[in-house]
Each structure stands twice: as C-alpha cells, then as structure tokens.
Amino acid sequence: MSTTLYSGGLLFDGEGDLQENYAVLVEGDSIIDVAPVEKYADYKGKRVDTTDATLMPGIADCHVHLVYKGEANPQASVDGANPGEITLRVLENAQTSLKSGITAVRDCGGRDYLEFPVRDACNSGRFLGPSIMASGKIICMTGGHGNKNGRVADGCNEVVKAVREQVHAGSDLIKIMATGGVMTPGVNPEDAHYSADEMAAGVHEAKRFHKSSASHAQGAEGIMNAVNAGITSIEHGIFMDQQCLDAMLERGTYLVPTLAAVKNIIMNKDNGIPDYVVEKSLRVFDRHQESFTMFYKAGGKIAMGTDAGTPFNLHGKNALELAYMVECGMSPLDSLRSATSVGHACMQYEDRGQIKKALKPIY
C-alpha cells in the first residue's frame, strides 16, 4: 500500500504542545510514523506540504442534534414534518459538519430514530459524513424536559425498559434527563427531574449493555444524581456547585459545556425564538459561564460539545465553541485538546483524536 508524508507546517497531535519540524507518515488509513522531519529527508513517495498550516486531528462535537437545523423554534420545525424530509435534514447537517472539520459527532437526541439510517450510511462510507454516535430518543419523566420528542418513562422499572428500547432500536449511548431545561416550556433548569434511584437504574442498565451515557443536567441536585449514578458525561452543567465539582473530579465525569447553545439564543433573542426560551437563557447565562470556568480551573475533563441544532446554533459553525471556551478562560491549546483527544475519549473512540503511531489519520 502506498504511503503519504505530511510535513512542512506545525503539528498538533491532540495532546501535547505545537511541534515544529515533524513529519507524519500515513499508509492507507493508518498513521505509521510520527518523527522529526530529517528522518524522511530522502523520502521518495507522495508528499503533502503543510507549510503555513497546522496538521491536527479532526474535531469531535460531543453534543449535537442532527434532526434540527438551528431554527428559531426547532421543535416546531420537526412537528408534522415528513419523515423523509427530516432524514434528509439529518444527512445535510452531518455533511455540513464534516465540511467544517467536524469528523465525529455524538447525537444527543433525535426524532423517531430517523437519524439512525444516516448514522449507519455515514459510518459505513455509503455516504460522505462524519463518524456518528447517536442516542436515539432521550429518556425523560412525564412532564419533564424533552417530553415532546423523548421516551417518557416514570419509575425505575419503566426507565430500565426505556433504556432497553433504545438499545433495541440501535442506540450507541443513552441520553437521560436529570433536570429541567431551557427549551421545554413549563420546566426549570434548576430543578432535579429524575430521582437518584431512577437515574441509577437507567445508567446501570446502559452499562449492562456496555453503552456510555450522557445526562442533560443543569441544576446541582440533578447533576449529583447523574454523577452518583455513574454517568459518562454531564451536559451543560449550568448550576454546578463545589459538591458537584468534587464528585465529577473524583469519578472522572466529563463535562460537555455547550456554551454555544445559550449564547446563540441570547445573541438572537429578537429573532423569533419563543419567549420562555429567551427568558430562561438570560437567567442561566452568567452562571453557565462561571461553572465552566470553575470546572476548567479545577482540572476537570471538558469534552467540546455545542448542542448544534438549537436556535441559531448552526451545524458547520461548531468550532465557534472553542472560541467561547477561550473567552471563559480556557487556554487555546486546551480548547483544541478538548475538541480532539478529550472529545474522542468521551465518545469512546479510543483510536482517534490524536496523531500518533498506529492511530487513524485526521479523524
């Protein structure tokens, strides 16, 4: 199999500092060497000159919704829409993401499993797209956040059944709602939704199927319920307190901040977004940023995620989240780590997100 040598520019391997004068040798879809460029001075095979550029792993976005396009009212955009049309939107959003350098996305809540065939088509190479992991339906309580599209389940037994249904339908991870949120009318982001027992039952069942789990968790009590249940990642984490922080550090729980979600709503508050969404976003904005900064300074694991698909939070603009994280105190290099090695680790893509020997290239 022929090889290709990438050299000339800077190298960011997903973990370390920027490196100069390094060459990366790729064979097929595997990285077979990363070495000082002198080693390949006499290399005669195909070369790609990366001068004036930085070679880096592809970006992983750990929180997107491919069924939504970032409409002012995303829920209304899918209500009553033809399933074929929704499926095409999923493909379009996935391909738009890939064109902007997002090579892996974790879909944290879809619509009637319409995103699954697109996931399979992209993952198999049938259509061009990023690598996609998808949760299927979010699992939420009666009257809880996400109840319009989610699998509503109450009590431990029903939550366990809901997890099994998602696995049966083909989910890669389980998304379970620990608190209220911004996008559902009549619920408060601060309030815990599932009880500690229900969360524990759901996460335990996910683990029995060797699935990771993500919890929409904004209020502190809900964050604690999810972390104590053994959740893989806390999504949003808006009202995190010291107890939450300590528990997440101890258990190695990822935070997927989605700063872009709240920020884009506030920046477009006069553009047709429902009033209740704008009001709640304004209420949580400062605290969201403070929690991010607190978690970052404490050395917590932050996996980049945008919530792309929420109002004016566009697929293809995912990388803006890196700038938003830097605005909240993260170093630029750490934002790149968050979007590459850490993000892929959160998605349990162990062989990706780094440019190292025997790892797959680019993504």
The binding site for Zn ion (CB under 5 A) comprises: 108, 307
Nearer to Zn ion, 179 or 354 (CB): 179
**Least distance from Zn ion to the Cβ atom of residue 309, Å:** 8
What is the nearest approach in angstroms of Zn ion to the Cβ of residue 116? 17
Name residue 49's beta-bridge partners: 7
Cβ atoms 326, 266 nearer than 8 A: no
Lookup: tokens for 108:
């944290």
Report the DSSP beta bridge partners of residue 133. 106
Report the length, in residues, of the chain.
363
Classify strands 131-134 and 30-36 as parallel, antiparallel or unpaired: unpaired
| Residues β-bridged to residue 36 | 22
Q: At what angle do helices 259-267 and 320-327 cross, to 10 degrees?
A: 90
Q: How far apart are CA 110 and CA 90, in angstroms?
A: 9
145 versus 360: smaller Cβ distance to Zn ion: 145
First to last CA, the chain: 20
Q: What CA–CA distance (Å, rounded) separates 326 from 332? A: 6
What's the min distance (Å) between Cβ of 299 and Zn ion?
Answer: 25
Q: In this chain, which residue has its C-beta nearest to Zn ion?
A: 307
Strand partners, 272: none
Q: Considering the complex, what minimum distance in angstroms separates the CB of residue 4 from Zn ion? A: 38
Q: How far is the CB of 25 from Zn ion (least distance, A)?
A: 39
Rounded to whole angstroms, the Cα distance separating 133 from 105 reads: 6
Nearer to Zn ion, 172 or 307 (CB): 307
**Of 110 and 130, which CB lies nearer to Zn ion in the complex structure?**
110
Q: Which residues contact 64 (CB under 8 A, 6 or more apart)?
A: 93, 97, 105, 106, 107, 108, 305, 306, 307, 308, 309, 315, 318
Smallest gap from Cβ 45 to Zn ion, in A, equals: 44
Distance in Å, CB of 21 to Zn ion, minimum: 42
